[in-house]
Amino acid sequence: MQKLEGKRAFVTGASRGIGAAIARRLSAEGAAVAVGYERSSDAAKTVVEAITNGGGRAVAVQMSADDPAAVRRAVDEAAKALGGLDILVNNAGIYRAGSVEEMTLDDIDATLNVNVRAVILASQAALAHLPEGGRIISTGSNLATRVPGPGMALYSASKAALIGWTQGLARDLGPRGITVNVVHPGSTNTDMNPADGAHAADQLALMAIPRYGTPEDVAALVAFVAGPEAGSINGTGLTVDGGANA
């Protein structure tokens, strides 16, 4: 029996990379999936087709993570399309690097709006739909707890904020039987951070296991946390980084 059979999940930022892998893995475990995307409608359609061609159920839902109304609307739209919602995966995020001196107000607002505010708003909107046993899982970063070099302060701050949000929300929702967790990927081979990229050697040097992770590595952990065997995992962060933060 598939561990998520009958469950309904909304994954934001799921048209590519880690989000797409999460959507596919949740479907493989039996969940119906809403694939969130911002601009990449063709990529989202490809993920949906891959799921439906494999016998799963999926829909694409457009969501601009920097627009509060759009975030709330997307959660409601996903729940309506799937006939309810059991799992919310807050995966949409952006990365803007640079020194503090070079940081613009737009950089600050965009990073906090997408990486923090959208997570809070989507979680809030999901509460109208999540039943007892529901799951809220956010994608953080191993840079939330260790910053190995310059130029990452803003991004690290935004992901560190998810730790406090996760812990506090877990307390708030515990009486309702809803768990809240954050998964912290390390260097993961995606088009945003390819394993053969210019900065790959520096990242590999930090790892106890010197290899990039795959989106599927992260998706496997998310699927476990979303499943019935993880009912006592709550209010915590789980890191998938090859031991970079060890």
Say if residue 169 is exposed, middle or buried (CB neighbours under 10 Å; 0-12, 13-18, 19+): buried
Tell me the C-alpha distance between 119 and 111, whole Å: 12
- Contacts of 106-112 with CB under 8 Å at 24 or more apart are 107/154, 108/154, 110/66, 111/154, 111/155, 111/158, 112/158, 112/161
Amino acid in position 15: S
For residue 53, give both structure tokens: 């061609």
**Cα–Cα distances in angstroms (integers) from residue 240 to residues 2, 37, 118, 150, 175, in the given order:** 24, 24, 23, 22, 29
Among 37, 95, 155, 212, the active-site one is 155
Backbone dihedral angles phi then psi of residue 183, each to the nearest 5 degrees? -105, 130
Note if 37 is an active site residue: no
Give the other-Cβ count within 10 Å of 2's Cβ. 13
**Cα–Cα distances in angstroms (integers) from residue 98 to residues 152, 187, 191, 200, in the given order:** 7, 18, 19, 18
Give the other-Cβ count within 10 Å of 98's Cβ. 15
Just list the catalytic residues.
Answer: 155
